[in-house]
């Protein structure tokens, strides 16, 4: 199945470069472009892409507001947002994760990494493995905000099994399904199943929201001893 991608960035040259790269892949196609957040939301509603590659800093409506609008629209539940930014602006990234983004990349990303990230996010996983992301999550998501999602509720965790809570804590630490499988001596498929069951029970649209819930509920500190 072809992955449908929408590019949102105010730099025309960058969008053109990404379009050429993405359209060169047999399993992807660019279905639309946007130069600011307002256009990104409108184009997403028109084209229904699988993934929106979203810049944060854009004139007018920025990428954070656009991400919140897209992720908050129930009719766009199948669309994932991949943020493009720099690691130095990590507070912006944390905000994007809170409102539903599925991950982020630095703007100096290599071509293979970008394509892999799009495939990862389109497949329903979050791009949360790099060590820099773990630091970001620890720093900015540990303290809940008034705007936190309704699913960030410790009571909701009671619906999870002990194994699902354990797996969820490992996801929050930035571990992949394969790393979780190695730690718990289970298969990667079993690890993925536990992750998806936890997401379903907590109404998390993807792994990124699962991470937010884990930190906001305090699960990471209480799930398992070192």
55: which strand partners?
A: 84
Distance of CA 150 to the CA centre of its chain: 18
The set of residues, in sequence order, having a beta carbon less than 8 Å from that of 98 and lying 6+ positions away, is 141, 145, 147, 148, 149, 212
How many structural domains is the chain composed of?
Answer: 2
115 in the same domain as 16: yes
115 and 8, same domain (yes or no): yes
Residue 178, domain extent: 154-221
pLDDT tens per residue, range 69-84: 999 999 998 999 998 8
Cα–Cα nearest to 4, from 71, 79, 114: 79
- Tokens coding 204: 């998390």
Percent helix, percent strand, percent coil in the chain, to nearest 5: 55, 15, 30
Whichever domain contains 69, its CATH number is 3.40.50.2300
Where residue 90 falls among pLDDT bands split at 50, 70, 90?
A: low
Q: Report whether pLDDT(143) > 60.
A: no
Q: Are residues 14 and 107 in the same domain?
A: yes
Q: 153: Cβ–Cβ under 8 A, 6 or more apart, which residues?
A: 217
pTM: 0.70
Mean pLDDT of 8-21: 94
**CATH code for position 191:** 1.10.10.10
How do beta strands 103-106 and 80-85 pair?
parallel
Host H or E run for residue 80 = strand 80-85
Mean pLDDT across the stretch 27-32? 97
């Amino acid at each position: 199945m072809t992955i449908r991608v929408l590019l949102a960035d105010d730099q025309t040259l960058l969008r053109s470069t990404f379009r050429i790269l993405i359209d060169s892949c047999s399993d992807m196609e660019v279905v639309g472009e946007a130069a600011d957040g307002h256009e990104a939301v409108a184009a997403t509603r028109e084209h229904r892409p699988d993934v929106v590659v979203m810049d944060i800093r854009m004139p007018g409506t920025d990428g954070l507001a656009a991400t919140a609008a897209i992720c908050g629209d129930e009719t766009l539940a199948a669309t994932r947002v991949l943020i493009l930014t720099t690691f130095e602006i990590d507070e912006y990234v944390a905000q994007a994760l809170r409102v539903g983004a599925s991950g982020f990349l630095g703007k100096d990303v290599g071509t293979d990494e970008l394509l892999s990230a799009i495939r990862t996010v389109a497949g329903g996983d979050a791009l949360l493995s790099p060590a820099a992301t773990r630091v970001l999550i620890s720093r900015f998501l540990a303290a809940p905000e008034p705007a936190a999602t309704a699913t960030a509720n410790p009571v909701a965790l009671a619906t999870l099994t002990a194994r699902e809570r354990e797996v969820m804590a490992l996801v929050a630490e930035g571990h992949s399904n394969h790393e979780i499988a190695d730690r718990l001596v289970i298969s990667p498929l079993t690890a993925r199943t536990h992750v998806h069951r936890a997401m379903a029970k907590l109404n998390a649209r993807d792994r990124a929201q699962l991470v937010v819930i884990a930190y906001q509920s305090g699960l990471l500190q209480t799930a398992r001893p070192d």
